[in-house]
Chain A
Amino acid sequence: DAGVIQSPRHEVTEMGQEVTLRCKPISGHNSLFWYRQTMMRGLELLIYFNNNVPIDDSGMPEDRFSAKMPNASFSTLKIQPSEPRDSAVYFCASSFHLNYGYTFGSGTRLTVV
């Protein structure tokens, strides 16, 4: 298995633009998590899905953030409009169980200028 695949690896965009981050979880995993990592705030959980259903989106910072999981093999995190303070590394993780065995992707480094 290729692990959790995230794209793009790096994204530089201008303030106000729409950004879409993509994630392909490990086949067979039924839980998917989106995290944001910054020096100031560490690793923050944004939202997670179980069996493609959003379970908890309380970590989504604002309405500008949205996430979807249309099927078991694909998820997106969208920021519209993007702002400089959204600059961070965004990680997707998947797991067969909700509470252990998380496998993280390599992340998307987002820079909003």
Chain B
Amino acid sequence: QQQVKQSPQSLIVQKGGISIINCAYENTAFDYFPWYQQFPGKGPALLIAIRPDVSEKKEGRFTISFNKSAKQFSLHIMDSQPGDSATYFCAASMETSGSRLTFGEGTQLTVNP
């Protein structure tokens, strides 16, 4: 019940295209859903996060879509750029009960020029 399933494992997109990464969870008590971005040789860094009181959150070219009934959330990268090439991790936690973050398996995104 603590797992977060992420897909796809890898993704190749052309410059200017839309990158979409999906995550699914089982534990309905999860109430905080962040996405982390990791560049080669670096640690993951928080990119954007959402709480279940909204269905969408947008920050620049990055958007999280959240579907509470389906227990799914996704990251959309609009106008993808080669500089977006990185590994992306979704995660979830129970903020109200103070549980630690559970990470997905990661998606390696490559944006071709």
Contact = CB atoms under 8 A, between A and B. Distances in A.
A43 B41 contact: no
Interface residues of A, number: 21
Given A42-B106, A99-B93, A100-B49, A33 B44 contact: no
B103 interface: yes
- Max count, chain A CB within 10 A of own CB: residue among B41, B89, B101, B105: B101
Q: How large is the interface on B (under 10, 10 to 19, 20 to 34, 35 or more residues)?
A: 20 to 34
B99 interface: yes
Contacts of B94: 99
A42 B49 contact: no
A60 to B, nearest CB: 15
B26 interface: no
Contacts of B99: 98-99
Given A99-B99, A100-B34, A106-B41, A42 B105 contact: yes
Interface string A93-108: 1000111111111110
B98 A98 contact: yes
Contacts of A98: 98-100
A53 interface: no
A96 to B, nearest CB: 12
Contacts of A99: 32, 93-95, 98-101
A91 interface: yes
B45 interface: yes
Contacts of B101: 99-100, 102
Nearest to A93: B43
A34 to B, nearest CB: 12
A93 B89 CA distance: 15
Contact of A43 (B32, B95, B103): B103
Interface of A: 4, 31, 33, 42-43, 45, 48, 56, 91, 93, 97-107
11 contacts: A43-B89, A48-B100, A98-B99, A99-B99, A100-B34, A100-B95, A103-B45, A103-B46, A106-B43, A107-B41, A107-B42
